[in-house]
Structure 1
Amino acid sequence: MGESFILKHPRDEFLLWAPGRFSDIDPPLLVLGRLSPGDELSFDQIFRGELEKAEEKDIWKLGCNDLHPPLEDDRVYHYWFEIVDTSPDEHGTMLVTDPLAYNVDYTLNGNMRNQPAAVIKFREGHLHPCDAHGVEDPIRGNRIEAPDLKELPNNNQLVIYELPASWARGSGGDVKRDVGKFGDIVGLLKEVDGGSTDNPQESEKTIIADLGINAIELLPAADAKPTGEWGYATAHYFATDNDLGTPTDLISLARCCQEKKIRLFMDMVMAFGHDPYIHIAYSQFHLRPQREQDNADAWQSSRDKELRAGFGGESWRYIRATDTTDPVTGISPAANERRFQYICPASAFHLLHLERWMSDFGIGGLRLDSANNIGNWDFIRRYKDDAWKRFASRYKTPQSQPEEDPDLRHKFLVIAEELAVPIDMIRSRCVNALWNEHFQRLVRATIVGESSGGDNFEWTVRKMIDCRQISFWNGKEDPRFASGTEAVNYITSHDVEGMRKERLYNYLHNIGIHDNVEKARRAKLAFVCLLTAVGIPMIFADEEFCDQHDNFTDEIVKHPSKQTDPVNYDRKTDEWRSEVFDYVKELVGLRTKCPALGDDDTDFFYWDFSNDRRIAAWKRGRADHDPVVVVANFSDQHVPTRAEAIPNWPSRLDNKQWREVIQGREIPQEWVGREDLYRWEAKVYTCWKKRSPIQLDALEEIALPEWRNCAHFRKGWRKIAAEGDFNNGLCVVDHLFTSGLSLLFRQTKSG
């Protein structure tokens, strides 16, 4: 897909798109100047003048070379648009930020009303996006390369790490810190600056990379007004958050993720905003639902009789259409044969910023916040379709349904968050997946031996481990999750408000489990369930080592204080927490690599509820994959070694050896299905074994000389080398070199 009309507009004009807003006798003004350093930073205004009406309807612009006095070369300028406020609050004449600004600066916020300045550099006759210090954004088209499609993790083997970027700096000891930056996340992924990390604490060193996850979901990275919070008060949709870093910093993080083969998901907020259009053209972009209750746009989409909520911002208006220039296509009623070009301004605006994030930061997936509160499934579907087309355009010409393309469909995902889990959003193709709020409820019940939701304990476990068993009966039909890639499971998310939603440590503590060793038992059991269940597992930052809330004296976590209680990385050095981390790390490695856990196939083959026990055993994986078997004890009863093996124990492929995953123990055949279980313990077994990587150069040394330059040969051997599996990799090229390559295979294997 190409660039939108407005985003590819020549970079030599200040431009404002304002549907249905201004007239020739009342145009918007440009206010521009420079910061003057000193004891008290001040603003020197250089220019204040009217923008000119463009040929395209509702677009106002002014050439940067038409200003008097002229702009100086290689200078950084701050600017606003001066307008009369159109919001219901009627603030009068005020300065607002450019809605398309790529960089904003809050330095003058206290002196210049309530809107930060947009920042730009004038160089060689053009305008260049830059930060307040003059560091320019990487040029468009050279921001981030598309990674090799085959190296991207598949959706069915993702483990997502949900991370507020501000927490990447964490806290420790008696020092309270937050407002981490994109560069701090890089420091959690790889060693930088000569072996140290961006973070000053040694205990934080590369913790995310060490965990082995293959996807990071950043809480909103677009600019938001508050400092030290999580970005859900999005204000400037094209700019990276001023507190978290510049676009260049985010690009560095995106590149680091690509190097680590980690997909970068981005959290998008489109139900409500704190944006400049609230003041520029309120009625075209926003509404207050309580004032328009006869308007379908005022109501949440799948909750009966519940108005949309602004959470301190203004709800976006997604139904009203306006005859204005389409900023995506550039089609204008002023220049079009047709009389009108009706579009929804809010929808068009969000498609524009989607293009910015997809094109410039290499986003590998999206999470849509508060989907019901967006209130318009047609818009969400269009947004999802556009995201898929932009992802597909990195690799090929997008088709009408790129998410069905066999090369692409496992490599991208649009996830919606709505705690009511409106499964119809998936069935109607609005989104690809939903947060599975049920998993959190079910897992927190099972690890303390409780049933949940009116089910008995067996069905509580069944629904937890296989999301396809959860019923969403609506009175007419019973839609369900159809596959694991439609559900995102989590023990904890950033929504830690309220009982049984807090961090796992605090949940266990609040229900009376005060011993840390006992907390570790329950945490390990919870992570076994999470990482062997059908569904995409998501780990909230710091849960992998059982961090805890520090800022609360009562049991209930409240907003917004939950956002300012960052990770304490020092706690990871506690012996019991370190053991939990290592335990989770082993399970993450299994989840991201073992083919059986990428399957949906699940077989519950054993239950034991005798003598106050709650024992369950399940197998994951198709018949042609080495199985993963879990035997879990959801009780405080120790189960001694069995005289007889658990009945119906799954068979092995090719008589391979069973192995217990966490300790890496090979299990003699006579012990299979007989091992004892301590209370609140799960054992995970598999016949699958990750092969050690094979050096491609060593293989090529023994290849016949005439084969070494053959593209098919090299491609086949690269697959063998990457997987470390001769048997599977051989079939890739065996049809080309059946006799000769088979001979080489035998020689290599024997040698």
Structure 2
Amino acid sequence: MSITRDLGAHYTPGRGTLFTVWAPTAGQVDVLLKDNDKLIPLQREAFGYWTGLSEETGPGARYTLQLDEEMERPDPASHFQPDGVHGPSVVVDHTAFQWTDRHWKPLPLEQYIIYELHVGTFSEEGTFQDVIEKLPELIDLGITAIELMPVAQFPGSRNWGYDGVYPSAVQESYGGPDGLKKLVDACHAAGIAVVLDVVYNHLGPEGNYLNEFGPYFTNKYNTPWGKALNFDDAHSDHVRNFFIQNALLWLRDYHIDALRLDAVHAILDTGAKHFLQELQEQVEHLEQQLGRPFILIAESDLNDVRIINPIEKGGYGLAAQWSDDFHHAVHALLTGEDSGYYSDFGKLEQLQKALLHGFVYDGIYSEHRKRTFGSDATTNPARQFVVCSQNHDQVGNRMLGERLTKLVSYDMLKVAAGLVLLSPFTPMLFMGEEYGEENPFLYFVSHSDKDLVEAVRNGRREEFSAFAWQGEAPDPQSEETFNQSKLQRTYKHSEKHRQLRDFYKALIKLRKSAPALSHPDKTHLHVSADSHTQVLHLIHSGESPYLYTLFNINNQPQKTSMVKEVGAAWKQVLSSAESKYGGASMDLPQELHAGQEIELPAASVTVFQSNIIL
């Protein structure tokens, strides 16, 4: 039976604050109220939990936990760290916020058009409030969901968020708990779902005091970040509970719609019931209690359908996962890069396979990995795969943080957009790509430990060794590196960037309005590819009118013929070559028939529709 127990400081109006801590090796645990130096002894309960009620302690009270009458630390389950990762924790009243989203109807996954953003660099100010002020831009673009990179408290004020050490505390410099709630409330008022990126595979190094409370880590495994979190060793029930309670907190108290689980391949668990399955089951219990659905999306480099297969079929039951194969197939094909993991990609047939089956490596040999890799995802619904041409990892983990804007032509950027937004999968954009942001997205930190800073610098250099990148990596600790990564929003004064954004808007509008894309799936998809011309044919035939898209993934004009198996007249509805989208305005036929030849502009996307398919 799963251990389910609240942790941290829970305030109830009229009753006070109940403190609960898991510290199985401690001989005594006390709460030290920092405002008056009052000590509140906690009572030991089963399994090493310590608890105590303080009727006088309310919202805003600052406190630390005292272990064995000598060691003083913040609460591992803290909900707010206004003075940073080394400062005292603060009691939060989650009943006080005045929500206005009672009529919000959560969106089904197939309606998600996700916009991934980093709060600190999305705007000049880098706060939740400024994201709210820029929501009209995202509404105008047509996105239906934003995905926030991690907001759990991290050291300093500059970080991607994956160095968080208090999973339940909202970053103070972004606006703290109320700031996040205001953002979610505003998104729901605008019809936008909110996805939150959470990290359950490691914690950052600075301010990480978990091991002083209990066996949160295990020596059984190592990860890129050191010892693995303890999901299957002695006392692991309580570590699992720590992270499950965190997930429930975001969904219940912050009204988050979906969680994106970072790098689940680094959640090492060989137990009979994997942590991900237990998490999914607990989220389903919360759904039943609240009467609203929630979505769990995994980031995984395993190509393993167990993550998204139903529990009754031996899977973990998650709703979706990121598809690295789709990204790599698109990136390698468009850029010609072939170092690192891109050495496994670069052929048009691989993109064709990704569109039809979900994974490219589905049980075949990977030269890069030097082993057979992946599982067959053919029968998994297309909505279960989140796809993109850019994201924080694939841009930010390049040595110079170059976006696709710097790697391919302007016209090829429109091809990338079409491949993502007209695919049958759940599409995701990375902030700024819609207008061709030219600033990089670099890796940045603001640690206070000089040795740690140097270790981060060296670690980044080692990461880049597998790629043929030239130049010197920017200093992650430098504030300039952070400032360089902020969006410029050049579409407001650059016609070229505005035209690219308009093309994204047109693609999104088509995806939302075309019946053939209302419930896109691989079973109603025809994909053919000509590796000689680099032309891809993509036909959605689920609902009428059907869509036929021609992608010329070539920097020269190419001739191709419409697939003979389709019939009737196909009328043009969208072309990236139109002058209003910054194209060369090459004349294209407004109507085509089966087998008819057409000359496609270089690096172009052309969409036709028809009411009949033979």
Tell me which interval the TM-score lies in, with the shorter structure as reference length.
0.7 to 0.9
Residue identity opposite 1:505 in structure 2: T
Partner residue in 1 for 2:119: 165
Secondary structure of residue in 2 paired with 1:358: helix
Q: Is 1:681 the equivalent of 2:604?
A: yes
- Higher radius of gyration, 1 or 2: 1
Cα distance in 2, alignment partners of residues 148 and 656 from structure 1: 39
Offset from partner CA, 1:13-61 (integer Å, 9 cap, x none): 45232342233xxx22332233xxxxxxxxxxx2243513256663434
Cα distance in 1, alignment partners of residues 386 and 474 from structure 2: 24
Residues 361 and 374 in structure 2, CA contact (< 8 A), matched pair in contact too: no
CA 448–225 in structure 1, closer or farther in 2 if over 3 Å, else same:
closer
Return the offset for 1:485.
1.7
Select 1:18's aligned residue among 18, 22, 25: 22
Secondary structure of residue in 2 paired with 1:447: helix
Offset from partner CA, 1:147-192 (integer Å, 9 cap, x none): 554xx4332232111111112224xxxxxxx6x1111111111xxx
Secondary structure of residue in 2 paired with 1:485: helix
Residues 488 and 535 in structure 1, CA contact (< 8 A), matched pair in contact too: yes
Select 2:161's aligned residue among 231, 240, 243: 231
Partner residue in 1 for 2:72: 95
Return the offset for 1:241.
1.0
Return the offset for 1:281.
1.8
Secondary structure of residue in 2 paired with 1:344: helix
Residue identity opposite 1:16 in structure 2: T
Residue identity opposite 1:99 in structure 2: P
- Identity score, percent: 18
Offset from partner CA, 1:514-558 (integer Å, 9 cap, x none): xxxxx2111001111111123211111111112134588955767
CA 54–605 in structure 1, closer or farther in 2 if over 3 Å, else same:
closer
Cα distance in 2, alignment partners of residues 225 and 579 from structure 1: 39
Q: Is 1:486 the equivalent of 2:384?
A: yes
CA 477–280 in structure 1, closer or farther in 2 if over 3 Å, else same:
closer
Q: Is 1:445 the equivalent of 2:429?
A: no
Residues 113 and 428 in structure 2, CA contact (< 8 A), matched pair in contact too: yes
Partner residue in 2 for 1:340: none
Partner residue in 2 for 1:737: none
- Superposed, 1:92-241 pairs within 5 Å as 93-106=70-83, 115-120=86-91, 129=92, 137-139=94-96, 143=99, 145=101, 147-149=103-105, 152-170=106-124, 180-189=126-135, 206-241=136-171
Secondary structure of residue in 1 paired with 2:427: strand
Residue identity opposite 2:315 in structure 1: R
Residue identity opposite 1:29 in structure 2: D
Cα distance in 2, alignment partners of residues 605 and 418 from structure 1: 26
Select 2:202's aligned residue among 259, 272, 280: 272
Residues 128 and 179 in structure 2, CA contact (< 8 A), matched pair in contact too: yes
Residues 498 and 557 in structure 1, CA contact (< 8 A), matched pair in contact too: no
Partner residue in 2 for 1:659: 573
- Superposed, 1:279-358 pairs within 5 Å as 279-283=211-215, 285-287=216-218, 292=219, 295=220, 298=221, 307-310=222-225, 315-322=228-235, 344-358=237-251
Residue identity opposite 1:429 in structure 2: G
Residue identity opposite 1:480 in structure 2: A
Residues 441 and 485 in structure 2, CA contact (< 8 A), matched pair in contact too: no
- Superposed, 1:553-632 pairs within 5 Å as 560=476, 565-572=484-491, 573-597=493-517, 598-600=519-521, 601=523, 603-604=525-526, 613-622=533-542, 624-632=543-551
Select 1:422's aligned residue among 283, 294, 304: 304
Partner residue in 2 for 1:520: 410
Offset from partner CA, 1:666-721 (integer Å, 9 cap, x none): 97546896654211112122358xxxxxxxxxxxxxxxxxxxxxxxxxxxxxxxxx
Residues 444 and 500 in structure 1, CA contact (< 8 A), matched pair in contact too: no
Residue identity opposite 1:60 in structure 2: W
Residue identity opposite 2:75 in structure 1: D
Partner residue in 1 for 2:451: none
Residue identity opposite 1:80 in structure 2: T
Residue identity opposite 1:391 in structure 2: E
Return the offset for 1:384.
2.0
Residue identity opposite 1:383 in structure 2: L
Cα distance in 2, alignment partners of residues 559 and 687 from structure 1: 53
Residues 542 and 567 in structure 1, CA contact (< 8 A), matched pair in contact too: no
Secondary structure of residue in 2 paired with 1:270: coil
Cα distance in 1, alignment partners of residues 566 and 473 from structure 2: 44
Partner residue in 1 for 2:456: none
Cα distance in 1, alignment partners of residues 527 and 324 from structure 2: 26
Offset from partner CA, 1:120-157 (integer Å, 9 cap, x none): 4xxxxxxxx2xxxxxx65438x64645554xx433223
In structure 1, runs of 5+ residues without a counterpart are 35-45, 86-92, 121-128, 130-135, 171-177, 190-205, 299-306, 323-342, 397-407, 509-518, 689-751
In structure 2, runs of 5+ residues without a counterpart are 365-371, 443-468, 581-586
Residues 265 and 301 in structure 2, CA contact (< 8 A), matched pair in contact too: no
Residues 198 and 260 in structure 2, CA contact (< 8 A), matched pair in contact too: yes
Partner residue in 1 for 2:37: 47
Cα distance in 1, alignment partners of residues 214 and 405 from structure 2: 45
Residues 162 and 539 in structure 1, CA contact (< 8 A), matched pair in contact too: yes
Residues 426 and 433 in structure 1, CA contact (< 8 A), matched pair in contact too: yes
Secondary structure of residue in 1 paired with 2:387: strand
Residues 617 and 630 in structure 1, CA contact (< 8 A), matched pair in contact too: yes
Cα distance in 1, alignment partners of residues 558 and 198 from structure 2: 47
Cα distance in 1, alignment partners of residues 52 and 288 from structure 2: 35
CA 545–607 in structure 1, closer or farther in 2 if over 3 Å, else same:
same
Partner residue in 1 for 2:555: 636
Residues 575 and 605 in structure 2, CA contact (< 8 A), matched pair in contact too: no
Return the offset for 1:490.
1.2
Return the offset for 1:596.
1.6
Residue identity opposite 1:387 in structure 2: V
Deviates further, 422-431 or 379-388: 422-431
Cα distance in 1, alignment partners of residues 250 and 173 from structure 2: 18
CA 554–500 in structure 1, closer or farther in 2 if over 3 Å, else same:
closer
Cα distance in 2, alignment partners of residues 586 and 78 from structure 1: 51
CA 84–506 in structure 1, closer or farther in 2 if over 3 Å, else same:
farther
CA 520–115 in structure 1, closer or farther in 2 if over 3 Å, else same:
same
Residues 61 and 90 in structure 2, CA contact (< 8 A), matched pair in contact too: yes
Offset from partner CA, 1:293-340 (integer Å, 9 cap, x none): xx3xx1xxxxxxxx32326xx632112344xxxxxxxxxxxxxxxxxx
Partner residue in 2 for 1:403: none
Secondary structure of residue in 2 paired with 1:372: helix
Alignment RMSD (CA, Å) = 3.6
Residue identity opposite 2:74 in structure 1: T
Select 1:507's aligned residue among 407, 422, 426: 407
- Superposed, 1:345-424 pairs within 5 Å as 345-376=238-269, 378-395=274-291, 412-424=294-306
Residue identity opposite 1:659 in structure 2: V
Secondary structure of residue in 2 paired with 1:16: strand
Q: Is 1:78 the equivalent of 2:62?
A: yes
Cα distance in 1, alignment partners of residues 482 and 357 from structure 2: 30
**Structure-1-length-normalised TM-score:** 0.64
Offset from partner CA, 1:40-97 (integer Å, 9 cap, x none): xxxxxx224351325666343454357xxxx8xx995422112269xxxxxxx44211
Cα distance in 2, alignment partners of residues 16 and 450 from structure 1: 52
Cα distance in 2, alignment partners of residues 260 and 666 from structure 1: 38
Secondary structure of residue in 1 paired with 2:392: coil
CA 483–550 in structure 1, closer or farther in 2 if over 3 Å, else same:
closer
Secondary structure of residue in 2 paired with 1:98: coil
Deviates further, 230-239 or 519-528: 230-239
Residues 362 and 373 in structure 2, CA contact (< 8 A), matched pair in contact too: no
Return the offset for 1:432.
2.9
Return the offset for 1:423.
3.5
Return the offset for 1:501.
7.8
Select 1:435's aligned residue among 322, 326, 330: 322
Offset from partner CA, 1:88-126 (integer Å, 9 cap, x none): xxxxx44211233322221xx6xxxx7211124xxxxxx
CA 153–595 in structure 1, closer or farther in 2 if over 3 Å, else same:
farther
